[in-house]
A and B are shown apart, each in its own frame.
Chain A
């Protein structure tokens, strides 16, 4: 395995890193990024580290790993309403251990949980965030039956589910302005990223455990400003945990999770560095779940058009190419103003693409 074949975990770990800082950020209004994420960039003695060759065990690994410093549960969905309109939904739960041996009784528990949720249509992008301390039943994740929760936001096994996996889930979130409740039904296998779920980040040995379920079919309802619509579509779930983070020269990233018509899933990202040329990584997932990592020089991702959003220039249209697979598409957002004014703030929303291939997906852009 070499550093050219990571699987996209890097940007997600980067996301975690920034979201660990997000804890401090969200709790503050000044940038704690400058303060080095409370030392998360450095090694974290006392925490466990991912080891190659460790098999992921389900359903156990659907649950929380308090021996590791950080992890997350991430669901995005591209939806079509009975009204003919397109919608997108995001549900994200993060766990941050403030110090090793984080799972303790009551208020002495050292985990802080953070969640972001959003619902998007062509005219609106509504979002909310939540924070909760662990240990007292406000937030947590149980492996079997699978249940992830923070306050009244849930990602959990449906009542009609017989198995102890994540094949049949229900996801719900909202605040006063928006709400959604979707049933997720997996139509394909869980995909282990990297080397059987061990995902390297660098030659220095940084890594994470990472798997995905990109094959969810979904249906349910989305309500925006009190207007409820029945929807159906496709959803993608990511799971990752680790104790390490990336180099400090990281500036931001552009991450794509694409559902190609025909059942192929494509995950790609571009990592921007203040010092070096951007890194590209990707993973081609066939309709049966077979994965093929994409080489660095096989990928070309470039912005085509910027828009002034939330007081900064943010790319809204992209050209994405995978030379070996003959992919050359242009993406456009459902709603260019899919700005998550959470802390940290970032852009995340549903996109469409056309060109050599057609389809839909989710785009996340940070560091603009």
Chain B
């Protein structure tokens, strides 16, 4: 029963996380594939962003069969959507959107009159709009009538390319070209026709989203795997106990002449059956977990990366199969030692219960040896590299080492106590505790791992929260942030704002895009103002950073970008611009938490000079704080449609914080689940043990200890074990925090957070451990306290 539950829980956690990842990845792929079809090749602007439609015409006139796409972000009401402009006449047949061509009437409608806007039924529901509706975007542009089309990618509205250029205010611009399957184009020909403006990529590589979100998914996977490991501890413990219980039967069977391989085969069949039942239950559980967490994951991914994840969970057979395989692998791993023992089992050896001490020593030595191996592995992993995988390997191996070492430590502690104790009952208590270790150790190890993970992740998240909040305060200094609908609107608003008495500064925050070493980079302009020089958080900078930034060819580089490009203060950076490469000196490095893209900060005038396509619509305003609300009101009344979005500082801060909280909500949920699993493991082990315990307790009871006294001792023992695990978990958790902060975060996101300690958290975890132990021990101990004397007497009649 415990075995089944353990396996089911392990599989559930693992497959739940896998389901979430698969769902997200499918959605990214669907977003790309819905337009271009699976596979194939496409052309993108060499330095990211948009390119001129003339390039498309040039390529087509050179005989290269390409179809244009323009994508961009927009909003309808308060919902983010992606506008996707396609050209149905040239769209390759493999494109799912091209299915619309099967309906002549739809195609006619799409290309004539005001056109049509396709959205999947799910997107329509999310927008709360019916077919035929013509909502306005934040730029005040009216959409063509909405039409449901199942093939439309999630979160996107598909319109004709010309309509998209109008809606997004990007006349004559495109974001990619899809190549026909048989289009004859290689790098050389591309260069001849389009110069260096475009780059050729396989459609599968294009999923920038997949790339950006990789670390997010790896984090999920790692926690899923951690939960799976904890589950495996349970399985291993349960199987070990079951094996010990049936050892006499196995011996009898061997003595009767059943060959060892046959026994193992029979046991393997049994495991297979277990795998099937438990794996199946685990898949159902995994589905439930994924279903419960999906909305949260979807919102995190949307707010962090702008990724649209379909919220109706669809899973394929591959997912189910991988869950079952994991369950099977887990079961085999857990049962392997049992199999090996069965193979080696001498048919005629007698039961030697007295020899437990020798066996116990062997067990402890083995644990210590394995712990040492795991420790060495952890050190090797740390030395081996600083990547994400090595970070997780360090964490995994150190957790394993500590877990394996736990019984050794406890046994040492008990042996020491036994020597120090004088009262017979106390001596028995410690000696008996040592004997119990091997039975409880796996459950205790699971508890240790879960506690350590809680301390580790909790510390990292809390540290991040504090750093993030401080950083937001420093970064968001302007009182009002707005985005104009178009650059022309921006100029109007700017002109008006100059005359407003409440405004002390107008800070354009224009943006442009480029790409260095294939990595998407955002370039943001800054004007010379005290808002920045006095507040903008920097990790390190040259002494003259602000004068240099505005006077010379100089840039500020975000921490993650600096790490990725391997640049530091004083390094020269070649930045591809609309004109030519711009060589600039790095004068400062700033933290940019939560931004998946690299960011460069440059002087506003330089930005305008080097990037023709700088957005020109983003602004910050310094307004006297008590006039902010009135000012925003005024501005909205006056400009209305010309303002795409306006926020005051506190709104922006709360939005950012919300994104942050969501990101870690999933981690916290998995963490809690892991802790629950380890509690279950402890409970299951104690329950199994309690039956065997009667044989040990009965003699002590017979010698005069009361049942109540014995029950209290049992409880004290379990609580002491849990406390021991919790105490060991604290340094382990701190080490894990350090690994997360110094290795995993740096590799996954590119930023390094200060390492902070939170003793109140440790206390919480300690209390949780004790509570878990007490809860888990309650039933077995109560059973003991109420055990009928006849039950205990039976032990002597059943003496083996």
Residues of A within 8 A of B (CB): 23-24, 27-30, 32, 35, 38, 98-99, 106-108, 110, 112, 131-133, 136-138, 149, 151-152, 175-176
Contacts and interface: CB of A to CB of B under 8 A. Distances in A.
Given A27-B107, A30-B102, A112 B162 contact: no
B195 interface: no
Given A38-B108, A112-B111, A176-B184, A132 B60 contact: yes
Nearest to A137: B57
Contacts of A151: 60-61, 63, 65
B177 to A, nearest CB: 13
A40 to B, nearest CB: 11
B186 interface: no
B60 A27 contact: no
B101 A28 contact: yes
Contacts of B105: 35, 38
Contacts of B182: 175-176
B317 interface: no
B61 A24 contact: no
Given A27-B98, A137-B57, 6 more contacts: A98-B112, A99-B112, A107-B161, A112-B111, A131-B90, A152-B61
A99 B102 contact: no
Judged by DSSP, the binding face of A is loop
B87 interface: yes
Nearest to A114: B89
B165 interface: yes
Nearest to B54: A137
B62 A106 contact: no
Given A27-B107, A136-B57, A107 B160 contact: yes
Nearest to A24: B104
12 contacts: A24-B101, A28-B104, A28-B107, A38-B108, A98-B112, A131-B90, A132-B60, A132-B89, A133-B90, A136-B53, A151-B60, A152-B61
B88 interface: yes
B113 interface: yes
A106 B162 CA distance: 8
Interface string B88-104: 11100000001001111
A98 B111 contact: yes
Contacts of A176: 182, 184
- Most central of B89, B102, B163 by chain A CB within 10 Å: B89
Contacts of A108: 162
Contacts of A32: 104
- Most central of A28, A30, A107, A112 by chain B CB within 10 Å: A107
Nearest to B88: A27
Given A107-B161, A112-B89, A152 B62 contact: yes
A361 to B, nearest CB: 30
A35 B103 CA distance: 10
B526 to A, nearest CB: 36
Interface residues of B, number: 31
A110 B111 contact: yes
Contacts of B101: 24, 27-28
Contacts of A38: 104-105, 108
A335 to B, nearest CB: 23
A133 B89 contact: yes
Given A28-B102, A136-B53, A176-B182, A110 B112 contact: yes
A98 B160 contact: no
Nearest to A33: B104
Contacts of B111: 98, 110, 112
- Most central of B60, B65, B165 by chain A CB within 10 Å: B60
A32 B182 CA distance: 26
Contacts of B102: 28-30
B467 to A, nearest CB: 48
Which 8 A-B residue pairs are closest in the complex by CB-CB distance?
Answer: A107-B162, A152-B63, A27-B101, A24-B104, A32-B104, A28-B102, A131-B89, A99-B112
A29 B182 CA distance: 19
Contacts of A112: 89, 111
A101 to B, nearest CB: 11
Contacts of B53: 136
Contacts of A106: 162, 171-172
A23 B362 CA distance: 82
Contacts of A175: 182
Nearest to B53: A136
A29 B63 CA distance: 24
Interface in B355-410: none
Contacts of A149: 61
A175 to B, nearest CB: 8
B622 to A, nearest CB: 41
A85 B60 CA distance: 33
Contacts of B172: 106
Contact of A24 (B63, B107, B163, B184): B107
Contacts of B160: 107
A138 B89 CA distance: 12
B165 A107 contact: yes
B108 A98 contact: yes
- Most central of A27, A137, A176 by chain B CB within 10 Å: A27
B54 to A, nearest CB: 8
A138 B57 contact: yes
- Most central of B62, B65, B101 by chain A CB within 10 Å: B101
Contacts of B90: 131-133
A35 B61 contact: no
Interface in B104-125: 104-105, 107-108, 111-113
A151 B61 CA distance: 4
Contacts of A98: 108, 111-112
B41 to A, nearest CB: 15
- Most central of A29, A98, A151, A176 by chain B CB within 10 Å: A151
